[in-house]
Amino acid sequence: MAEKIITKEQEQFLEYFKKNKLLAQDFYLTGGTALALFYYQHRKSEDLDFFTSKKIPNSIIDKSIKDVKIKLNASKVEYNQLYDRRIYQFKLTKKGILKIEFTLYPFKNLKKLKKINGVFVDSLLDMGANKIMSIMDRFEPKDFFDLYFMKNDFRLENLRTAAQKKFGIEIDPIALVSRFNKVKDLRIIPQMIKKVDIIDLKNYFQKFNKKEAKMFLV
């Protein structure tokens, strides 16, 4: 029997989301859960990340959160705001948490959104570009695994170019190599559904770094 990518509570939230026109028409699903659920089926993801380029009234989101709390029979909801990120953690009565994030994201998408099962979903190219920026900002093992699974669709240098176009910046090649070099420090592995050869994953990024290093020396 195939292992489930998302939890029952995540499924319930997505069902609620796509029926809520005020949310579904303006927000799109992105991040690790979107990658796993709609593209690669490669790992589990705890978060449901929804982005929008529009300023949505807080009252719309607050009403939806209240409805979902009742629907999931959550004991409480913890809220945190980090800049334009509205983060909600539903404390479930039986076990675990459900983390939902609504983010104002002003960057124009490189590719058109896809509508899958009533939910707008980010494109692979956009999520790849976002992952490059995530790598530049933090060290999260899941980012390396997600980029690794994109290897048959995009080369790393193409994703770097896409990130530069999307965010209107120049990514220092040496800085990116330094970030990719952290793959050697991987100790924590995400909850994978598909098996991954860790040595091959590390070699994938190190091969890119060696190629880039040769260019520095020219």
Strand, coil or helix: what is 48? strand
The answer to whether residues 168 and 113 belong to one domain is no
Q: Which of 122, 147, 166 is the last residue of a domain?
A: 122
pLDDT digits (tens, 9 = 90+) for 104-159: 999 999 999 999 999 999 999 999 999 999 999 999 999 999 999 999 999 999 99
- Say how many C-beta atoms besides its own lie within 10 A of residue 129's C-beta: 27
Q: Which whole-number Å values give the CA distances from 147 to 43, 44, 132, 134, in the listed order?
A: 12, 15, 8, 11
Q: Tokens 């091959």, residue?
A: 200
The answer to whether residues 105 and 172 belong to one domain is no
pLDDT digits (tens, 9 = 90+) for 133-144: 999 999 999 999
pLDDT at 217: 55
How far apart, in whole angstroms, are the C-alpha atoms of residue 50 and residue 177? 29
CA atoms within 13 A on the CB side of 62: 5
What is the pTM assigned to this prediction? 0.92
Q: What is the mean pLDDT of residues 161-169?
A: 98
Q: Which of 122, 138, 173 is the last residue of a domain?
A: 122
Q: At 73, which CATH number?
A: 3.10.450.620
* Phi/psi of residue 57, nearest 5 degrees: -55, 140
Q: Which of 122, 150, 175 is the last residue of a domain?
A: 122
Of 99, 110, 103, which Cα lies nearest the Cα of 54? Answer: 103
pLDDT at 212: 87
pLDDT digits (tens, 9 = 90+) for 172-210: 999 999 999 999 999 889 999 999 999 999 999 999 999
Count of domains for the chain: 2
The answer to whether residues 97 and 136 belong to one domain is no
The answer to whether residues 48 and 156 belong to one domain is no
The answer to whether residues 99 and 190 belong to one domain is no
* β-sheet with 114-116: strand ranges across: 74-82, 85-92, 97-104, 47-52, 28-30, 119-121, 114-116
How far apart, in whole angstroms, are the C-alpha atoms of residue 36 and residue 12? 17
User: Across 25-183, where does the E strand assignment appear?
Assistant: 28-30, 47-52, 74-82, 85-92, 97-104, 114-116, 119-121
User: Are the beta carbons of 73 and 93 closer than 8 angstroms?
Assistant: yes
Domain carrying residue 100: 1-122
Q: Does residue 14 have a pLDDT over 50?
A: yes
The answer to whether residues 48 and 62 belong to one domain is yes
